[in-house]
Amino acid sequence: MLRRKSKYWECSAKKISRTFKLAVNVEGTKPYQEWAEDVLASIENDRILVFSPKDEHALDEALDENGDELIGSQAKTAVSIREWLPVGCQFIHWGNQRDRQNQDLGRYSNNAPQVLCGIGCSPAMTEPVGPACLVGRITLYQDRLIENENAFKHVLAHELVHCFDSLMFLVPAMQDWRQFWSNVLHGGRNIESIGQFFHRIRLFLDDYGSASELARLKKFWPSHAEVWFGAFHQR
């Protein structure tokens, strides 16, 4: 906000508060709304590990005894998915077919690169606006391939896991933005490392039809993942 003082304009800092909520709106010719709510209600493993906002080494490379990379090994704080999911995703809705890319059936997206990392923002900004302006969504596209209940549930669960992965960063950013900016993001100098981290972790989930994709889903829905996975990939 700007305020007038004499003939000059000065920056006037203001604080805002916000309540994050998740809205699901996928009504249609099939009971998609009921199916979506069932996926959310049937999460069996409600815990994920997130980074600490004070951890300067959150993104440091770590290897196991075989020399294989341990992705996210510094994420050690357990939090509830149900408590924090609305921070990462506020909308689950149908998308416009004209905006559909590569015949995607679903896509998780958020504006964290802009509001947390400052990507695409004015060079005049000394730091990004922060997590109060986070917006995340899962966009689904109506298609005959997801008219089957279990296939639909697989697509939604897959996108939800992308959201769960993002919470590793979004949660600590919300818990203490100043510490997160200074330590995890190193005052903006660690932006490239975050992009590389998400690229690597997406490879395990987006290897469609693979054992690694199934394993990622089974972590959260151990009683349902195989049925959903089979219904989608064996259609």
DSSP string, 72-138: TTT--EEEEHHHHHHHH-SEEEEPPGGG--TT-SEEEEESHHHHTT-TTS-TT-SS---GGG--EEE
pLDDT at 123: 67
Tell me, yes or no, whether 8 lies in a domain. no
Check pLDDT > 50 for residue 2: no
CB contact at 8 A, 158 and 213: yes
Strand partners, 5: 8
Residue pLDDT, tens place only, 48-67: 999 999 999 988 877 667 76
Tell me, yes or no, whether 57 lies in a domain. yes
pLDDT at 159: 98
Say which residue, 66 or 140, is predicted with more confidence.
140
Tell me, yes or no, whether 4 lies in a domain. no
Q: What is the DSSP letter of 43?
A: -
Check: pTM over 0.85? Answer yes or no. yes
pLDDT at 94: 97
Torsions phi, psi of 41, nearest 5? -70, -25
Q: Report the pLDDT averaged over residues 164-180.
A: 96
Tell me, yes or no, whether 3 lies in a domain. no
Tell me, yes or no, whether 42 lies in a domain. yes
Tell me, yes or no, whether 38 lies in a domain. yes
pLDDT at 125: 66
Strand partners, 93: 25, 139
pLDDT at 126: 72
Which structural domain range is residue 189 located in? 14-233
Domain count, the chain: 1
Model confidence band, residue 172 (pLDDT cutoffs 50, 70, 90): very high
Tell me, yes or no, whether 7 lies in a domain. no
Contact residues for 10 (Cβ-Cβ < 8 A; gap 6+):
2, 3
Tell me, yes or no, whether 32 lies in a domain. yes
Residue pLDDT, tens place only, 21-55: 999 999 998 999 999 999 999 999 999 999 999 99
